[in-house]
């Protein structure tokens, strides 16, 4: 494994875990809500939250690994060149779009 791939993997793992935490942190509150409203569906809700956490990590790992491998960071830092101008706004837009799609598709 060359240095470029190793550094891309490090960045992708670190950021994948950060984005997965966005799913994991509110998960107990969601499970309590399901327990209050529909106790019979608690097992299903737990599986959905676990799947969402794994999918979130995998999605952002692949996305960030690809970007970090294509635009390698400088040797003395673990960040993208121009990350504040291109990469993080793109990822933020994807997060907002995903949240909108989840909110718009919920049953009423």
Question: Helices 42-70 and 27-37: crossing angle, nearest 10°?
Answer: 160
Tell me the pLDDT tens digit for each residue of 96-105: 888 777 777 6
Distance CA 28, CA 49 (A): 10
pLDDT, mean of residues 78-83: 59
pLDDT in tens, 27-49: 787 778 777 888 887 788 788 88
pLDDT for the residue 107: 60
Rounded to 10 degrees, what is the CA torsion of 17, 82, 90, 55?
-20
63 token code pair = 């996305």
Mean pLDDT, range 52-68, rounded to an integer:
87
Single pTM value for the model: 0.64
pLDDT at residue 108 in the model: 56
Average pLDDT over residues 11-23: 85
């Amino acid at each position: 494994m060359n240095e470029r791939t190793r550094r891309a993997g490090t960045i992708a793992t670190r950021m994948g875990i950060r984005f997965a935490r966005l799913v994991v942190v509110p998960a107990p509150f969601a499970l309590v809500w399901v327990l209050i409203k529909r106790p019979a569906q608690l097992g299903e809700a737990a599986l959905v939250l676990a799947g969402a956490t794994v999918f979130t990590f995998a999605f952002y790992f692949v996305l960030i690994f690809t970007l970090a491998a294509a635009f390698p960071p400088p040797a003395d830092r673990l960040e993208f060149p121009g990350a504040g101008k291109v990469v993080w706004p793109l990822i933020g837009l994807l997060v907002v779009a995903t949240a909108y799609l989840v909110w718009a598709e919920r049953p009423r």
